[in-house]
Structure 1
Amino acid sequence: MKSYDHKAIERKWQGIWEQEGAFHASDDKSQPKFYALIEFPYPSGQGLHVGHPRPYTALDIVARKRRMQGYNVLFPIGWDAFGLPTENYAIKNKIHPKIVTENNIARFKAQLQSLGLSFDWSREINTTDPSYYKWTQWIFLKLFEKGLAYKKEMAINWCTSCKVGLANEEVVGGVCERCGGKVERRMKTQWMLKITEYAQRLIDDLDDLDYIERVKIQQKNWIGRSEGAEVDFTVGDKKLRIYTTRPDTLFGATYMVMSPEHPYLEDWKEQLENYDEVVAYREYANSKSDFERTELAKEKTGVELKGIRAINPVNGQSIPIWISDYVLMSYGTGAIMAVPAHDTRDWEFAKKFGLPIIEVVSGGEVEKEAFTDIANGVMVNSGFLDGMQVKEAKNAIIAYLEEKGLGERKVNYKLRDWVFSRQRYWGEPIPLVYCEHCGKWVPLPESELPLMLPEVDSYEPGPNGESPLASMEEWVNTTCPVCGGPAKRETDTMPQWAGSSWYFLRYMDPHNDECLASKENLEYWSPVDWYNGGMEHTTLHLLYSRFWHKFLYDIGVVSTPEPYQKRTSHGMILGENNEKMSKSRGNVVNPDDIVEEFGADTMRLYEMFIGDFEKAVPWSQNGVKGCRRFLERVWKLQDMVSEEDDYTKELEIAMHRTIKKVSQDDETLKFNTAIAALMALLNDFYSAGKVSRAELRDFLILLNPAAPHITEEMWENCGFEGRIYQQEWPRYDENKTIEDTIEIGVQINGKAKGTVKIAKNAAQEEAIAAAKADEKIGSFLQGKTVVKEIYVPGRIINLVVR
């Protein structure tokens, strides 16, 4: 037998699979379907790193297994190819982003194909293809038509490096998640998507989905539903409304805090004795991102509004008003009541500025270190609420406020509307024009879609952060589709998240020119059965795509209210030094090098065997070598094949147990233990010194999803019919996974002396006889008299001698 030549074998079978269209989804809708989805990659110039193949291989294993179980499998691939990194590279290197994208995709595609992933390449999509983004634009127009896309001036997170506005979700640790650049606040006119309209449904519908719990928790926390009340404090002739989740603590409100951007500040300009100080503080606050402003551990800062005070509506007390950067206009009403006795941040603020602290819920010392859970306390110093439990007091105070016209019950969400436009070039053009005559934004007719990106000489954003498209007068100046008068195109483009919010639908019918996908295909393939992606996208792409899908459901385009039935996540692969892989740390492992030296099957097998799929794990080159040795031992089974066309009696139980183990573990992301079971079975083959054709046949099928190339080659070499990917997944007999015999310990006078094998349901006489007949145990009994025989079924034999 020739040696295991991974290069020749992998080239051969990748060519055969492509030629045979082995993994193309069928148009036959009479079959049960299974839709497996990965987060399609962003094709960067750096190519794949070894972290990419981990989730791809995991879903590939599931997809290959499902095909053998009789499903029509859709396992597609495409490219999330718009976005800032490509544009920044194009600017730096004076290359058109389109060319950069094409080069990056070619490199990524070659790398993915070298891994033998069973993607349906006939359905490949690209978000920068006009035939694709035509439908991204179409969805935007439908959102606009339904009032869910609107434009407004607002303070946004501005990346000073990328020169682009960022959604809150794109600011991580106070910096741009893409480039790490400083983020500050700027006033910009932005297109917004009203995701808040769907906030409650995005929470409620999680209950019926098979998502891992930490994904559900992150989404619910990000949406941030809370119940409370809006309350009006009186300031001169104005009502200053606040939102609070604890209206029962109103009697403990000893001051108020407003956002430095609150519009009332301009109305009070003449009354404020320190207006210049207020303006200076507002400028200071605007230099910070929302994250920096709301960080709990930071030093508290603020300015008192001198010359005005507020009246607490429940006790008529006059209290001071402050502005502080930790209160945002984008959450609640932009103003809060402060109850320092029962809130850490309010307590710290009050202590710093010498403000009153009044306990209104009993249960602990009024000290920062001694704050207790006041949700179950008793009301004190609270007028008509005194003596009530908190829950009772909440309902009583809200009823009082509503009766007196001082406030109302309110549900609030932390979730903000999605900042959708970007002042950049490399994104989908927004298909709207502004007509002065009509006095509004006017959508392009659907017949004019796609609105193509024009060629530009420079991709640099303008000096004031406007899009490069803004300087293209010939493109900007157009006619209004409604009145025929002069109009100007929108020069902002869509964010990268636009194309990724619906890509899974296009895979269902990627070449359709009439609609984003046919009704028949959408109904057949929806929803995605199993979607795996990174935890970092839980409050970005995952939330956005659920929102878009629900909207498409509401307008009758799709047939299910949720896009993905199951969502799992994977841990990252770290460097051998247990740190995140990065060029600066010098610990990046290139998958091309692994495939070249050890083979794609070794790479795939190792990434599944490396550890718990859901946890971060360090790379180990020794582990890679171990997986290669395993495959070489598998290869040598070809010299050990016997002609028996059934399981041997010696290995029947091991075979059924392994089939059960691999079948179940592949469904629960326990790929490492599934592979360990196959390694144990291989050892059994070597111990037996042979492997029957039936045993080898099923072993190769079980191993195939993780190591497809070597198993197909051995299958062919051994003369089995067809291809492995066309075979039926092995079945196990539960009764044959249970040993007929058990090993049981034997004691003499309570001391362990050895073990014997007995029938699982052996009677006491059989068990004792087996113990006495054992050569080792018998040696301890020579010259002794057995005075007592004890047998605990399935556990122990004890012989008492003298």
Structure 2
Amino acid sequence: MSEYTPDSIEKKWQEIWEENKYFKAEVDHSREKYYCLEMLPYPSGRLHMGHVRNYSIGDVLARYERMQGKNVLHPMGWDAFGLPAENAALKNNTQPAKWTYENIATMRAQLKRLGYSYDWDAELATCHPKYYKWEQEFFIKLYNKGLIYRKKAPVNWCPKCNTVLANEQVEDGLCWRCDSKVEQKELSQWFLRITEYADELLEFLDKLPGWPERVRTMQRNWIGRSYGSELDFELEGLDEKLTVFTTRPDTLYGCSFMSIAAEHPMVEKLIEGKEQAEAVRAFVKETTEMDQFDRSSDSLEKKGAFTGAYCINPVNGDRLPIFVANFVLMGYGTGAVMAVPAHDQRDFEFAQKYDLPLKVVIQPKDEALDPANMTEAYTAPGVLVNSAQFDGMENKPAQEAITDYLAETGRGRKTVNYRLRDWNISRQRFWGAPIPMIHCDKCGIVPVPTENLPVQLPDDAQVLPDGRSPLPHTPEFYEVTCPVCGGKAHRETDTMDTFMESSWYFLRYTCAKDDTQALDPEAVKYWLPVDQYIGGIEHAILHLLYARFFIKALRDENIIELDEPFENLLTQGMVLMDGSKMSKSKGNVVDPDEMIGKYGADTVRLFCLFAAPPEKDLEWNDKGIEGSARFIKRIWRVVNDLGGKLDAVEPCASVEGMSLSSAAKDMRRKEHETVKKVTEDIRRAFQFNTAIAAVMELVNDIYHQKDELMKTEDGRYVLASTLSTALTVLSPVAPHVCEELWQQLGHADHLAARFWPKYDEKALVRDEITVVVQVNGKLRGRLNVAANAAREDIEKAALAESNVAAHIEGKTVRKVIVVPGKLVNIVVG
């Protein structure tokens, strides 16, 4: 018996696969395509077990679909720009590019060591000028289309990362990268008009049934479409109006004051010449320095400052004081909120604090609310009161009626509002794709001519000690000639948000080495959309929403013909240790290289797929991987023991014309049951854990029945077929050991080029079945009967069974219930 040596076996087969180009993908219209993709990793330096789990899931699917005869594209690349490279470069006194490419080399070697079936000819790195050249070209096209613009606006600023963050990159008021508290600044920034596609992004979610409902719900909530009214409140003493958006026009008659955001552009006009001016300015400063998340929190203490100004309610002429309030944000609606304290809890708390009046306009059906006795806002449904001609209406129908009234009388208009805001893509960092724009005092902002792309990062630039970008301090980079007038100009020194790169990389995989164009239309049309996308739930908003938008924008530029990038989405769970996510700071990291060195890549892959269903979190434990190692060694021993004694027989081989023994029939049935089970588990629900369990059960049956089967010619034939089948269906999970054992069985070809075995329905039919026999519902015996036995024969055999007969002796049999193929229940009295 040869020894199982995973290191040499795995490297051997990885070389064979590469030599034969088994995983290279090319457009072939004669074959059905399958595009399998895991989210590309950031080259941090080392793989972690989360990577291994993610890529193992994708590799099983890619190998399985390839064995189904499909033309499979399964690529890998590197999301290589970003802050961590700069921080590491500072720490190690090196260049971000050098650090990044060294990490890519390390991680590429790790991925190859795990035996993943990637088409390495399609590899890309987003930090390479040959990649971001085309991204810069897209930028210019979208700019010329009006989908990219520059404006001065309040932005999220991370003081530690020294850069702006998009709204989606602020999590609970903290930077998504470093957990620093985010500040508010006003800067000129570049934006993508993602809001232009808000409706389509929302509506197309219903066309993605292959996505988890949880992810679709998260995107719906983030887009946040709401219907309501926009109406104008005249300002007392000013020839201007204050515009408000509300989803509750049914409460309009109960408005008793107005709240506006500290950032509202009308603040200075409202306080001009008022005695409150300085106090309001101080409050504005205090509020704008607050965290945006805190300002939207329900637990926030509601504070405000009276501006000294008033506005007029357009439906009843009430004079309403205007306050700057800390809980009102410019990011939603118009930055002005009509305050109805009797029916909104935030307004109620504010009114209580500043002794402002409450006016009830919605009453419960069986109760009359008294504002003087209210301890909280009434927000439930009810009937309108104190609302002129709308009195007596239920508040839901009244919303539509009042909206129509406002429109008819010219006091308001129906409108739709969104939580989604345009995507801020400016980053004040070095390690990113340069924004291809030029600032000229004479011509304004003009694009870099496409023939001058890419605008490359200077190779010798050093990140400044505090992390700031060197680009604004590098004249040889920013000093340029205006391409329009030929005069002196300066290049844009902001770089693009790294999510720009990951918004289209999956398109570039289809033509990664094409230097003549960003995308090959034929290749994109053939391969896209991605059939199966795999990645973490943490990308539900940022990456997935941006990628969907980017595809629609490129479609409308006639660059591609595609509405949605990802047909199906699988969000795998995390890898945990002692109930916590693995992290270096917690000291609970399992090193994949260490595990591969100890057990082999196949065992590591097997454990990651067997320990939990893919969508669930996986709890790492040493006993689990030891169990996986024992299973690999068991199948190794079985094949080693039998390989030289058996002929090479095809999986699920035909037995036409053969007369099989009872043992051979049982083994053949188990073989075909296993293929059916594994096929269904992989195809329908990605339940790799139960698929692997089925193969384990088959191998155990082989182990226990092999000696009996080896006694006869038909038994040896079925045993050889079953071993071939076990290796074939296990090969997507543990490909190296299965290839090696396949060869030991005498097969001349390779499993990587094999088709998936097909089970025979006839083989699943049992000659005999076991029937449970109960007496008054209690188990009293079991019968082996012919699978096609008549009901009367089963009943007769059940009554004659010795233990059953003993329990019914002397009693009257009142009824015999026969459930075919399962049980007999004898009712006695």
Question: When the two structures are superposed, what TM-score results if normalisation uses the length of structure 2?
Answer: 0.92
* Aligned equivalent of 1:679, options 696, 704, 725: 696
Q: In the alignment, is residue 688 of structure 1 matched against residue 705 of structure 2?
A: yes
Residue 546 to residue 777, structure 1, CA distance change in 2 (3 Å)? same
Deviation at 1:736, TM superposition (A): 4.4
Name the counterpart of 1:593.
Answer: 594
Q: Distance in 1 between matches of 2:300 and 2:420?
A: 23
Q: Distance in 2 between matches of 1:430 and 1:349?
A: 45
Q: Secondary structure at the match of 1:416?
A: coil
CA contact (8 A) 1:424 1:461 kept: no
Deviations 1:670-715 (A, max 9, x none): 1111112212222222232356111111211111111111111111
Q: Distance in 2 between matches of 1:317 and 1:508?
A: 64
Q: Which amino acid aligns with 1:618?
A: E
Name the counterpart of 1:26.
Answer: 26
Name the counterpart of 2:530.
Answer: 528
How many residue pairs match? The answer is 793
Residue 347 to residue 749, structure 1, CA distance change in 2 (3 Å)? closer
Q: In the alignment, is residue 455 of structure 1 matched against residue 456 of structure 2?
A: no
Describe how 1:81-160 pairs up with structure 2 within 5 A. 81-160=80-159
Residue 474 to residue 797, structure 1, CA distance change in 2 (3 Å)? closer
Name the counterpart of 1:434.
Answer: 439
CA contact (8 A) 2:432 2:498 kept: yes
Of all paired residues, the percent bearing the same amino acid is 46
Of stretches 579-588 and 542-551 in structure 1, the one that deviates more from structure 2 is: 579-588
CA contact (8 A) 2:17 2:752 kept: no
Deviation at 1:771, TM superposition (A): 2.7
CA contact (8 A) 1:60 1:118 kept: yes
Q: Secondary structure at the match of 1:557?
A: coil
CA contact (8 A) 1:78 1:124 kept: yes
Name the counterpart of 1:655.
Answer: 671
Q: Secondary structure at the match of 2:743?
A: helix
Name the counterpart of 1:389.
Answer: 394
* Aligned equivalent of 2:737, options 673, 693, 710: 710
Structure 1 runs not aligned, ≥5 long: none
Name the counterpart of 1:476.
Answer: 478
Name the counterpart of 1:260.
Answer: 262
Name the counterpart of 1:207.
Answer: 206
Q: Which amino acid aligns with 1:396?
A: A
Name the counterpart of 2:543.
Answer: 541
Q: Distance in 1 between matches of 2:723 and 2:42?
A: 40
CA contact (8 A) 1:385 1:393 kept: yes
Q: In the alignment, is residue 701 of structure 1 matched against residue 728 of structure 2?
A: yes
CA contact (8 A) 2:149 2:192 kept: yes
Name the counterpart of 1:183.
Answer: 182
* Aligned equivalent of 1:444, options 441, 448, 458: 448
Residue 181 to residue 750, structure 1, CA distance change in 2 (3 Å)? closer
Q: Distance in 1 between matches of 2:558 and 2:813?
A: 84
Residue 396 to residue 92, structure 1, CA distance change in 2 (3 Å)? same
Residue 528 to residue 787, structure 1, CA distance change in 2 (3 Å)? closer
Deviation at 1:93, TM superposition (A): 2.3
Residue 684 to residue 451, structure 1, CA distance change in 2 (3 Å)? same
Of stretches 661-670 and 752-761 in structure 1, the one that deviates more from structure 2 is: 752-761
CA contact (8 A) 2:341 2:377 kept: no
Q: Secondary structure at the match of 2:160?
A: coil
Q: Secondary structure at the match of 1:345?
A: helix
Name the counterpart of 1:56.
Answer: 55
Q: Secondary structure at the match of 1:792?
A: strand
Name the counterpart of 2:42.
Answer: 42
CA contact (8 A) 2:82 2:498 kept: yes
Question: When the two structures are superposed, what TM-score results if normalisation uses the length of structure 1?
Answer: 0.95
Name the counterpart of 1:231.
Answer: 231
Name the counterpart of 1:628.
Answer: 629
Structure 2 runs not aligned, ≥5 long: 656-663, 710-717
Q: In the alignment, is residue 727 of structure 1 matched against residue 754 of structure 2?
A: yes
CA contact (8 A) 1:202 1:547 kept: yes
Q: Distance in 2 between matches of 1:315 and 1:203?
A: 37
Q: Distance in 2 between matches of 1:399 and 1:73?
A: 56
Q: Which amino acid aligns with 2:117?
A: S
CA contact (8 A) 1:271 1:308 kept: no
Deviation at 1:82, TM superposition (A): 0.4
Of stretches 150-159 and 653-662 in structure 1, the one that deviates more from structure 2 is: 653-662
Describe how 1:190-589 pairs up with structure 2 within 5 A. 190-209=189-208, 210-236=210-236, 237=238, 238-305=240-307, 307-363=308-364, 371=378, 373-374=380-381, 377-438=382-443, 440-460=444-464, 467-575=469-577, 577-589=578-590
Q: Distance in 2 between matches of 1:369 and 1:688?
A: 74
Q: Secondary structure at the match of 1:261?
A: coil
Deviation at 1:735, TM superposition (A): 5.4
Q: Distance in 2 between matches of 1:527 and 1:441?
A: 36
Q: Secondary structure at the match of 2:480?
A: strand
Q: Which amino acid aligns with 1:722?
A: D
Q: Distance in 1 between matches of 2:408 and 2:92?
A: 67
Deviation at 1:100, TM superposition (A): 0.6
CA contact (8 A) 1:768 1:789 kept: no
Deviation at 1:443, TM superposition (A): 0.7
Deviation at 1:311, TM superposition (A): 1.3
Deviations 1:518-576 (A, max 9, x none): 1111111111111112111111011111111101111111111111111221111111x
Deviation at 1:592, TM superposition (A): 0.9
CA contact (8 A) 2:529 2:562 kept: yes
Deviation at 1:204, TM superposition (A): 1.1
Residue 485 to residue 692, structure 1, CA distance change in 2 (3 Å)? same
CA contact (8 A) 1:255 1:321 kept: yes
Deviations 1:129-183 (A, max 9, x none): 1111100101111111111111111111110111111011111121111111121
Q: Secondary structure at the match of 2:243?
A: strand
Q: Secondary structure at the match of 1:410?
A: strand
Q: Distance in 2 between matches of 1:747 and 1:88?
A: 72
Q: Which amino acid aligns with 1:682?
A: V
Deviations 1:474-509 (A, max 9, x none): 221111111211111001111111111110011000
Residue 584 to residue 467, structure 1, CA distance change in 2 (3 Å)? closer
Q: Secondary structure at the match of 1:408?
A: strand
Q: Which amino acid aligns with 2:447?
A: P
Q: Distance in 1 between matches of 2:179 and 2:82?
A: 15
Of stretches 284-293 and 702-711 in structure 1, the one that deviates more from structure 2 is: 284-293
Q: Distance in 1 between matches of 2:818 and 2:458?
A: 84
Deviation at 1:372, TM superposition (A): 5.1
Q: Distance in 1 between matches of 2:553 and 2:828?
A: 81
Q: Distance in 1 between matches of 2:231 and 2:513?
A: 55
CA contact (8 A) 2:224 2:419 kept: yes
Q: Distance in 1 between matches of 2:63 and 2:703?
A: 27
Q: Which amino acid aligns with 1:86?
A: A
Deviation at 1:101, TM superposition (A): 0.3
Q: Secondary structure at the match of 2:580?
A: coil
Describe how 1:722-761 pairs up with structure 2 within 5 A. 722-734=749-761, 736-737=763-764, 739=766, 741-748=768-775, 751-761=778-788
Q: Distance in 2 between matches of 1:714 and 1:624?
A: 21
Residue 383 to residue 734, structure 1, CA distance change in 2 (3 Å)? farther
Deviation at 1:389, TM superposition (A): 2.6
Deviation at 1:753, TM superposition (A): 1.5
Describe how 1:782-801 pairs up with structure 2 within 5 A. 790-794=816-820, 796-798=823-825
Q: Secondary structure at the match of 1:508?
A: helix
Q: Distance in 2 between matches of 1:653 and 1:357?
A: 77
CA contact (8 A) 1:646 1:692 kept: no
Residue 736 to residue 351, structure 1, CA distance change in 2 (3 Å)? farther
Deviation at 1:800, TM superposition (A): 7.1
Q: Which amino acid aligns with 1:384?
A: Q
Name the counterpart of 2:15.
Answer: 15
